[in-house]
Amino acid sequence: MTEIDRPRAAPLPLREATGGDGRAQASIRHVARAGGALAVCLIVWLSLIPGAMQTRTPLPKQGEHFLAYLLTAACIALALGRRRSRLYAAGALMALAGALEIGQALVPGRTPGLGDFLASCLGSWAGVGLASLTIALLQRFSGTTDRQ
């Protein structure tokens, strides 16, 4: 069977698990897409506001970066579904993290940091890994596969 002839798997295998109507699949993808877009906007905003406007959480700075990018990557990866797209999403988030760290050099009261960048990159890959695991488990229970 050639690449063209091979049937494509659903991005999220919920159609069979939810009675075949696909509404749960569409709902999860829509919520994940909206959550991912909102999270990217928040990351950009919070990364480029002046230092005087910052509010810190009890987490260490790198912990904040890791968690923010993990959740963002997980949402985007769930919204995209396909394996290759999830990898591209992780790469795009890493590029965004690098650009934002460089951009912080131009913002008063902010300094770029290699540790922050690395935490963001690790969070991106962890989020994609978490989403991939979730998709694999859903596929296992619904009997579908993801070959993309």
Half-sphere exposure at residue 22, Cβ-oriented, CA atoms within 13 angstroms: 3
Q: Is residue 12 part of a domain?
A: no
Q: Is residue 2 part of a domain?
A: no
What is the distance between the alpha carbons of residues 145 and 135, in angstroms, rounded to a whole number? 10
- DSSP state, residue 7: P
Structural domain tally of the chain? 1
Chain segment 120-131, per-residue pLDDT in tens: 999 999 999 999
Q: Is residue 86 part of a domain?
A: yes
Chain segment 15-26, per-residue pLDDT in tens: 444 445 566 667
The two most distant CA atoms of the chain are separated, in Å, by 60
Q: Is residue 18 part of a domain?
A: no
Q: Is residue 125 part of a domain?
A: yes
Q: How high is the mean pLDDT of the chain?
A: 85
Are the CB atoms for 148 and 84 separated by under 8 Å? Answer: yes
Provide the domain limits for residue 128.
23-142
User: For position 145, what pLDDT does the model report?
Assistant: 59
pLDDT at 96 > cutoff 80: yes
Q: Is residue 119 part of a domain?
A: yes
Q: Is residue 54 part of a domain?
A: yes
Q: How far is CA 79 from the centre of its chain?
A: 9
Q: Is residue 77 part of a domain?
A: yes
pTM metric for this prediction: 0.80
Chain segment 41-61, per-residue pLDDT in tens: 999 999 999 988 988 899 999
Spatial neighbors of 81 by CB under 8 A, at least 6 apart, are: 10, 11, 12, 29, 135, 146
